[in-house]
Structure 1
């Protein structure tokens, strides 16, 4: 029977685990204990225990390399414990090829199960015949290193399943559920920071449809015992030349499909996810649409716009990161609406930042759009209730007016001043102070920006681009365009073609 070493600075922890081993009759031949690194090294070198349970917090930098050397030399089954749920501790466990990592305090039942399984695995190695021993040996060698280091694992047809809860803090519950689950082909379980990875043996003979049925049944069994939403990815590529690291990397990318599908779903993938690309920023026309929708308070139009642009039913889906940027681009227009209407109360400011955080980090697209829509409705309600009190900023009103009419070559400062009910001289001074540029410079910049867009996105002639951008004639347009951009309209279009 194998022997066990318990290395922990706390004598109570050492005594508790020793008592658990003896009271539960876990068949370890000998149980050693160590309270310091010196004692740990002495026991490992003198008795070479087959299973080592180490408290990561007791390992200092001076002894780290020696410990790794002994683990590599004697190849025990390593179990690590820690009271710090940090990335650094997880990486230490990976470097030691740890079979399991548990956070203190851990339940006696979980500790008993891990120690029992480790004992049986080590005892079983000695009893297996050569063929079975070879298979089990390969399975036992699978560790976190195989997931993160290229070329670390032996090549083979291993199947990979990733399970992710909405609340990552509850992953220990999921790990215990998997440890007790009656799998047809028992997987190697490797918890990571954001998911639980199950690596199934290469000899598994399930078909593609059987894998899907198995995943659905597993999801139903989990939901029968827990209220934590679960998302599953089954990666079943047939390429035997892929390493586990490659499969894990592609399966991890597929976890992002939950952004569109939500939890309580199963995604079956056999390669990289094919995301579609899109421009994450609003076009000038879309910006104007949002300005008009917000200032008119057209709630139904806003809802239909969001639903039409962000609800996807079928693959391929857009890359989630690009959609988050696009949503922040919309939120920027909402922010501008807040400023122009004086909607800067402490409550609405707090809600704005909450929605911004939701766009950046919320795992489900539908929830993000819903939260954004609810916030916009809050703003519209606040604007309606304060119509008599809130006065839009003069310059913001002027800019909105200019954005809607800059393509008119006859647009003058006097026209805009009249719109905001100010004298031309006063408006001109105020505009320059607020914008840092003169009225003419800002108007020209709007026209040049629109001209750039038309040159890159349309096949219109330079003459037509000039007219649609608000310039009097093509010659004047070419001159101003080169002054502002450093290139000519034709060169800009040719650069795009190249």
Structure 2
């Protein structure tokens, strides 16, 4: 296997190379690229089968050439990042990486991923050489003007629920009683089966049932049931039908004639959605979180996979903020679960599993946050600032009100707030209100008295006085200038 490592940190790359040379089972040739020119040259001359790159590199326009080359790379791309941020998830999805590691890389996981890639590559090459009809693979991937199947032969594709069962499935198919009536051709993750039968659905369901009984796992089977066409068209349409497993799970037969119509939607959270999630987490309302997530899986409505994954990483970003407020990231097990959830969102093939993973993790965070409140380990200043950001328009918002909501004394909140922020609570609240008022003076035609009211000032004269103290001029002069 030829592996290219791309990162600015040559020390990290040297450590990875040493580990793989020492412990990787099988021959592996490794090159390192620490600059854009080195990376481009290695891709062209070395022709790596696998690329492991630091996705944080793509932060400026100078790297656009490397980015375009990677998008066209025919091999496997693995990526790593310093932090699991939303923007890095977008880059990973765009490059269609097979796995996104979070630094420091778990080298055992890297070894497992490379082993799986090596086995798939070796297996595909061996099967191709031993195939009794090599022309089948040419027909499958290259355009042909002729149909390649007789009337009583049916094109199907089978994929196991668990990728590690692939070899076992291939061997099992060769030994099943109905093997004599079908030909099997393994691909990298799926197996093409050409059934010779007069009752395809019966045979397919029998196959699924027998596999479940003997291996305690499920199969998905895609069936081409359209008009006679080329092998490549059958493959393309059947493979597309199998994509429905993301929404439906395993244990199903998917017909090429019944393709799902997916809808697009804006994957980024709106301010209102962010506020809803924040409030639900703070209130410990897990049912509201469930309702928010399950709206993505309404019956009969299917959103594009990439949009859903991006949307859920945006949800995870709000969960991350909640973790930081209550210092839950300092718990090693919770931090590890968070990183695992990030990979679940990016990589897992089943949508409902991802949703349940988020809900389970969120439920645990809510419980820990409640414990933190009881133990007074929460960052009360950050919580107070969040309340101000949410309710500064309310003229009744005050230090005693916020302290009561946090379950601490006003004097204690006043002391820690001034110490951390460098100014008193009241002054900070006025600052937030005045900053929002300046925006409204520029962006709206509202009367000054109405702007005062919308920013928590019942008395417009008092608003003008405070505004001048903060800005140096009156609201009227500010709007005019």
Question: What is residue 350 of structure 2 aligned with on the other side?
Answer: 364
1:320 correspondence with 2:313: no
Aligned to 1:262: 249
Deviation at 1:178, TM superposition (A): 2.3
- The equivalent of 2:51 in structure 1 is none
Give the match for residue 286 of structure 2: 299
5+ long unaligned stretches in structure 1: 1-55, 58-81, 101-117, 119-139, 432-437, 452-460, 473-498
Instruction: Return closer, same or farther for 1:153/1:183 CA change in 2, 3 Å cut-off.
Output: farther
Partner of 1:161: 156
Q: How far 1:304 moved relative to its partner?
A: 3.3
Q: What is residue 38 of structure 1 aligned with on the other side? A: none
Q: 1:219-234 to 2 correspondence within 5 Å?
A: 219-234=208-223
Contact between 1:288 and 1:403, CA under 8 Å: does it hold in 2?
no
1:199 — aligned with what? 194
Measured at CA, do residues 184 and 383 of structure 1 come closer, stay the same or move farther in structure 2, by a change above 3 Å? Answer: closer
The question of 1:347 aligning with 2:333 is answered: yes
Shift of 1:212: 3.4
Partner of 1:490: none
Pair 1:370–1:83, CA change in 2 (3 A): closer
**5 Å matches for 1:275-290?**
275-290=262-277
1:143 aligns to what?
136
Q: C-alpha displacement at 1:356, in angstroms?
A: 1.6
Residues 185 and 244 (structure 1), Cα distance of their counterparts in 2 relative to 1, 3 Å cut: farther
Kept in 2: contact 1:355–1:372 (CA 8 A) = yes
Contact 1:161 1:199 in 2 (8 A): yes
Pair 1:373 & 2:359 matched: yes
Alignment of 1:124-135 (within 5 A): none
- TM-score, normalised to structure 2, is 0.56
> Is contact 1:398-1:416 (8 Å) kept?
no
Alignment of 1:329 with 2:362, yes or no, is no
Q: Secondary structure at the match of 2:167?
A: helix
Alignment of 1:61-76 (within 5 A): none
The residue that corresponds to 1:383 in the other structure is 369
How many residues are paired up?
Answer: 324
> Following TM superposition, by how much is the alpha carbon of 1:291 offset from its aligned partner in structure 2, in angstroms?
0.6
Q: Secondary structure at the match of 1:355?
A: helix
- Please give the TM-score of this superposition, normalised by the length of structure 1: 0.54
Structure 1 residues 341-374: Cα deviation after superposition (integer angstroms, max 9, x where no partner): 1112111111111222222222222222222212
1:181 aligned onto 2:176: yes
Partner of 1:89: 122
- The answer to whether the 8 A contact 2:241-2:258 is kept is no
> What's the counterpart of residue 76 of structure 2?
none
- Contact persistence 2:208–2:218 (CA under 8 A): no
Q: CA deviation at 1:237?
A: 1.9
Contact 1:343 1:382 (C-alpha < 8 Å) held by counterparts: yes
Map of 1:457 onto structure 2:
none
Cα distance in 1, alignment partners of residues 208 and 416 from structure 2: 69
Q: Secondary structure at the match of 1:334?
A: helix
Distance 2:203 2:439 in 1: 60
CA–CA distance in structure 1, aligned partners of residues 321 and 186 of structure 2: 44
- In structure 2, runs of 5+ residues without a counterpart are 1-25, 28-114, 404-409, 425-429, 458-481
> Does the C-alpha gap of structure 1 residues 183 and 338 become closer, same or farther in structure 2, counting only changes over 3 Å?
same
Shift of 1:410: 7.9
- 2:243 is paired with a residue of what secondary structure? helix
Residues 342, 425 of structure 1: CA spacing in aligned structure 2 closer, same or farther, 3 A cutoff?
Answer: closer
Pairwise CA distance, 1:177: 2.8
> Secondary structure of the equivalent of 1:237?
coil
Structure 1 residues 470 and 146, CA gap change in structure 2 (3 angstroms):
farther
* 2:234 aligned with 1:247: yes
Does the residue aligned with 1:188 lie in a helix, a strand or coil?
strand
Question: Separation in 1 of the partners of 2:146 and 2:251?
Answer: 33
